[in-house]
Each structure stands twice: as C-alpha cells, then as structure tokens.
Structure 1
Amino acid sequence: MEVAVADVDDGRFVPGAKVSVRVADADGEQVEAATLPLLWHPVPYHYGATLRLPTDGTYSLEVRVEPPTFRRHDEENGDRYGGAVTVAFDDVDVKTGQF
C-alpha cells in the first residue's frame, strides 16, 4: 500500500504526517490495519507498507492522514495542515501476492 500526501495548494509532498489504513472485506469486517511509515523514495516520496490480505477480492480501504506538527513558514500558509483527513475507497479489486 502506497499513499502519497500532497499539499492541495502547491502539490508538494507533505512529510511528517501520520498515515494509517484500514482494510475491510465485502462483509465490512476489518481484515488489516496498519500505520504507514514514510518511505524516502523519489518517485514519488510516499508513506507505505506491505499489507497481508486473506485472499483476492473486493475490499474497502480507509486512509487517515493526521497532519504534521510543523507549521508553514509564513502567516498566510502557517496553519495549512490544521486537521486530520479520512478518505474512503470502496469496491477496490485486489489481487494478493503482488508488490
């Protein structure tokens, strides 16, 4: 699982966030949950981890991004990362055993 967190205004990667993911099967049962560490890879920088799912199938993913604790350098952009964001992806077809 790879998640790239970008600033909505300037498109730059946002380091220092806490990114977590929950995966549920078609019945809504959670089958995996993980905190995704920052992976320093230039194409692109991202948060990620290898997840273990029980089988191929259709899953729902919930990604939560808690903002970094640092502020931007100026008053206009200083509180840009003020709150957490949760994004849901439903009906994602997954084939297991792939990296």
Structure 2
Amino acid sequence: MQQHEPPMDPSSSEATGPQLDRARAQGEAYSRALQYMVEEVAHDGGTKQAGEYTVGYAIEEAEGLYSFSDGRLTWQNPADENVHVEITVQDAADGRFIPAVTVTATLVSPSGQEMGPYEHELVWHPMLYHFARNWTVSEDGDYTLRVHIEPPAFMRHDEINGRRFTQPVDLRFDGVKIERGAEPVTPPRS
C-alpha cells in the first residue's frame, strides 16, 4: 500500500539496527491493518506522504462510539451524522502510528460547500488506532478532504532520530467518495 522512507540512523546509542528492525515490523503490521480497513471495511480510502508523515483516510458510515462524560464512559449513537471520517498518521520512516498529534480536517462537497475545519479525536479501535469524527454532510459524491496536522508535543527518546515531527503539515485528498449513511443503532451489551 505504501513505501516507507529509508530507515532511521542506527548509529545512535538509542536506536540499534535490531531495534529499528522491530520498529519497522510494528509499522508493517499497522500498515497491513490499515490496508485491510481501506480495502475491506471502508467505502473509500488512501494514503499520501507529507514530510516525515504518511497520512491516510478511510470513509465509513457514521457509527456509535464510547466517550467520557462526567467521569464515566457513555455510548453515543450518531444523531444527524451520516459519515465517519478516519485519519491515520504514521511515521514515514518505519510506518508506526504517531499518537498525540492534533489532526483537523475540512471537507469540501461536490457543490463547493466547505465544512470545518473540525478536530478529529484519537480513537482506540480493536484493530487500528486512528483519529476520527462523525460528520453531517448534505450530499453524496466526490469530496475534497484537507487535513492539517500539528506536530506532537511528546518527548522524543534518541539524540539523533528524536529530532523529527517538528513542523505542521497540510495535505489534500481529491476525489474522496462519500456515500451518506449510519450504522444501525444497536445499544451495547451491559
């Protein structure tokens, strides 16, 4: 599905060749899960490289999610939302998922209506961490998806390879196929 950049520098005391091999193996496993999501589950999806990131998207029907409210987990079904936009952010060097970035997205409809930008939250998924949000759109068709990523604020371990992910990136996906819909409302089991 995607080609990664050459491996990171193994000459530091924090990143040996065997350690970087293991990082690449994690990235390959994540990329296989993403490929399955895009090709077998989603209505549409794809990836692009943007600087030190590989950014992907998947389009599905709006879906229910758990979220914390007043200190407890609550299930929320889609109300008027009719599409679920998922965005993945990977290290272009090894394919691993990058957490703690701020991801915002804007959709432009086939008729030119601009929606957003809206922040997409981190979603723990049993198969694939991603950033996502349910949207309400007014029409089916080919959309433009603009994604903005702010660099992560996390600490970086490694004096050589740790000096990455310091710049924001913007990218655009054209021809994003959206078919409105929502998954059937099924309350979770107690």
TM-score where L is the length of structure 1: 0.89
Sequence identity (%): 37
Question: CA shift at 1:26, angstroms?
Answer: 2.6
Cross-structure match for 2:90: 6
Among 20, 41, 46, which residue is 2:130 paired with?
46
Per-residue CA deviations over 1:12-40 (Å, capped at 9, x if unaligned) read: 11110000100012343303431000011
RMSD of aligned alpha carbons = 1.5
d(CA) in 1 for partners of 2:97 and 2:148? 16
SS at match of 2:95: coil
Cross-structure match for 2:166: 82
Q: Which amino acid aligns with 2:146?
A: E
Instruction: In structure 1, list runs of 5 or more residues that go unmatched.
Output: none
Task: Assess if the C-alpha contact under 8 Å between 1:60 and 1:92 holds in 2.
Answer: yes
RCO greater where, 1 or 2, for CA within 8 Å and sep 6 or more? 1
Cross-structure match for 1:34: 118
Runs of 4+ in structure 1 displaced over 4 angstroms? none
Cross-structure match for 2:139: 55
Cross-structure match for 1:67: 151
Corresponding pairs, count:
99
| Bigger fraction of residues in helix | 2
Q: Which amino acid aligns with 1:16?
A: A
d(CA) in 2 for partners of 1:10 and 1:42? 21
Cα 1:49/1:58, change in 2 over 3 Å = same
d(CA) in 1 for partners of 2:126 and 2:164? 24
Instruction: In structure 2, list runs of 5 or more residues that go unmatched.
Output: 1-84, 184-190
